[in-house]
Chains A and B, each alone.
Chain A
Amino acid sequence: MKSIDKLKRLTGEATAPPQAEPAKPVCAASKKQEQLGDLRRRIETVVARAAERSRTAQEEARRRGDRGLRDLLEGEEVENDCGRFFLKSASLSGASRHGYRNLREISDPDMTAAGTLADDPSIGKCRFSDALFLDTETTGLSGGTGTMAFLIGLGWFEKGDFQVRQILARDFGEEAAALACLADIARQKKFLITFNGKAFDVNLLAARFILNRLPDALAELPHLDLLHPARRLLGHRLDNCRLATLEADILGVRREGDIPGWEIPQRYFDWLRRRDPRLLYNIFEHNRLDVVSMASLTAHLADILTAQTLRQHAHPDDYLAAAGLLLKRTHPAGAQKILDLFREDACSEFSLTSKKKLAQLYKRTGRLEDAAVLWRQMADCGAAGFYPVSELAKYLEHRAKRAAEAAALVENALAAGAFSEKEKESLEHRLKRLLRKAI
Chain B
Amino acid sequence: MAKLTLDEWIARLKKNKSFNANASAVVDLPARPGEWEDYPSWVNPRLRDALVGRGITRLYRHQAQAVRFIRGGRDVVLVTPTASGKTLCYNLPVLQSILDEPETRALYMFPTKALAQDQMHEAHSLITDLQADIKTFTYDGDTPDDARRAIRRQGHIVVTNPDMLHAGILPHHTKWQKLFMNLKYVVIDELHIYRGIFGSHFANVIRRLVRICRFYGADPVFICCSATVANPREHAEKILERPVALLDKSGAPAAAKTFVLYNPPIVNRELGIRQSALTPTRKIASDLIDNSIQTIVFATSRLSVEVLTKYLKDKFVKSKPFDDHFVTGYRGGYLPNLRRDIESGLRSREVMGVISTNALELGIDIGNLEACIMAGYPGSIASTWQQAGRAGRRSGHSLAILIARSNPLDQFIMENPDYFFALSPEHCRINPDNLLILLHHIKSAAFELPFEKGEKFGGENLEEFLQYLEEKGVLHRTDDRWHWAAESYPADEVSLRAINPENVVVVDTTDAGSHKIIAEVDWDSAFTAVHDDAIYLLASEQYHVDKLDLERKKAYVRKVDTDYYTDAMTYTNVRVIDSFDNRREGGTIVEHGEVQVVRKVVGYKKIKFYTSENLGYGDVTLPEKDMHTTSYWFTIPRDRLRSLAFTPAEIIDGLSALAYTIRHLSAMFLMADIHDIDRSLGDKSGEWFVSQGKTGRVITTFSAGRPQAASGADAVRIDEFDPTIFIFDAYPGGIGFSELLYREHDNLLSAAKSLIEKCPCAYGCPSCVGPTLEVGKTAKEIVPKIIDLVLNK
Binding site for B on A (CB under 8 A): 1-4, 6-7, 9-12, 16-17, 19-20, 139-146, 148, 171-173, 206-207, 210-211, 265-266, 269, 272-273
Contacts and interface: CB of A to CB of B under 8 A. Distances in A.
A145 B461 contact: no
B460 A3 contact: yes
A143 B485 contact: no
10 contacts: A2-B464, A3-B435, A16-B577, A16-B626, A19-B686, A140-B487, A142-B489, A143-B489, A172-B478, A207-B174
A265 B487 contact: yes
Top 7 A-B pairs ranked by shortest CB distance? A146-B447, A207-B174, A146-B484, A140-B487, A172-B483, A142-B489, A144-B171
Given A1-B578, A269-B476, A172 B450 contact: yes
Interface in B440-497: 446-450, 460-461, 464-465, 467-468, 473, 476, 478-479, 481, 483-490
A10 B577 contact: no
Contacts of B467: 4
A338 B726 CA distance: 83
A58 B461 CA distance: 25
B174 A146 contact: no
A303 to B, nearest CB: 33
A228 B485 CA distance: 31
Contacts of B173: 145
A2 B596 CA distance: 17
B615 interface: no
B447 A10 contact: no
A10 B733 contact: yes
Contact of B175 (A10, A11, A207): A207
A10 B732 contact: yes
B501 to A, nearest CB: 15
A320 B436 CA distance: 59
A207 B180 CA distance: 14
A1 B478 CA distance: 28
B750 interface: no
B24 interface: no
Nearest to B474: A269
Contacts of B62: none
Given A173-B478, A272-B476, A140 B486 contact: yes
Interface of B: 171-175, 177, 435-436, 439, 446-450, 460-461, 464-465, 467-468, 473, 476, 478-479, 481, 483-490, 575, 577-578, 594, 596, 626, 628, 685-686, 732-733
B449 A7 contact: no
A143 B172 contact: yes
A142 B487 contact: yes
Contacts of A210: 174, 177
A341 B568 CA distance: 78
B733 to A, nearest CB: 5
Contacts of B732: 10
Nearest to A207: B174
Nearest to B436: A10
Contact of B448 (A16, A145, A272): A145
A12 B483 CA distance: 25
Identify the interface centre among A2, A3, A11: most chain B CB within 10 Å of its CB.
A3
A261 to B, nearest CB: 12
Contacts of B476: 171-172, 269, 272
A7 B171 contact: no
A17 B577 contact: yes
Contacts of B485: 139, 172, 269, 272
A173 B476 CA distance: 11
A255 to B, nearest CB: 23
A140 B488 contact: yes
Contacts of B436: 7, 10-11
A2 B460 CA distance: 10
A301 B713 CA distance: 87
A20 B685 contact: yes
Given A10-B628, A146-B171, A173-B478, 14 more contacts: A4-B468, A7-B436, A7-B465, A11-B436, A12-B626, A20-B685, A142-B487, A143-B172, A143-B489, A145-B172, A173-B479, A211-B449, A266-B487, A273-B473
Contact of B435 (A6, A206, A207): A6
Most buried by A among B173, B473, B481, B486: B486
Contacts of B175: 207
A263 to B, nearest CB: 11
Contacts of A6: 435, 594, 628, 733
Contacts of A144: 171-172, 447, 489
Contacts of A172: 450, 476, 478, 481, 483, 485
Contacts of B483: 148, 172
B174 A7 contact: no
A7 B435 CA distance: 6
A141 B628 CA distance: 36
B639 to A, nearest CB: 20
A211 B174 contact: yes
A221 B248 CA distance: 55
A7 to B, nearest CB: 4
A159 B586 CA distance: 95
Contacts of B577: 16-17
Contacts of A211: 174, 449
Contact of A146 (B177, B446, B460, B468): B446
B487 A141 contact: yes
Given A20-B685, A139-B485, A269 B473 contact: yes
Contacts of A269: 473, 476, 485-486
B487 to A, nearest CB: 4
A244 B447 CA distance: 30
Contacts of A142: 487-489
Contacts of A1: 578
A423 B450 CA distance: 67
A146 B448 contact: yes
A172 B439 CA distance: 22
Q: Which of B479, B481, B577 has the most chain A CB within a 10 Å cutoff? A: B577
A3 B478 contact: no
A171 B485 CA distance: 11
A316 B467 CA distance: 61
B771 to A, nearest CB: 34
A136 B578 CA distance: 52
Nearest to B444: A146
Contacts of A272: 476, 485
A3 B450 contact: no
Contacts of B460: 3
Contacts of A11: 436
Contacts of B686: 19
B347 to A, nearest CB: 42
A14 B194 CA distance: 31
Contacts of B487: 139-142, 265-266
Contacts of B461: 2-4
B464 A3 contact: yes
Nearest to B173: A145
Nearest to B168: A144
Contacts of B594: 6
Q: Which of A1, A144, A172 counts the most chain B CB atoms within 10 A?
A: A144
Nearest to B216: A210
Nearest to A11: B436
B477 to A, nearest CB: 9
Nearest to A266: B487
Contacts of A140: 486-489
B486 A206 contact: no
Nearest to A268: B485
Contacts of A4: 461, 464-465, 467-468
* Best-surrounded residue of A11, A17, A143, A148 (most CB of chain B within 10 A): A11
A99 B664 CA distance: 75
Contacts of B596: 16
Contacts of B628: 6, 9-10, 16
A12 B733 CA distance: 12
A220 B447 CA distance: 27
Contacts of B479: 173
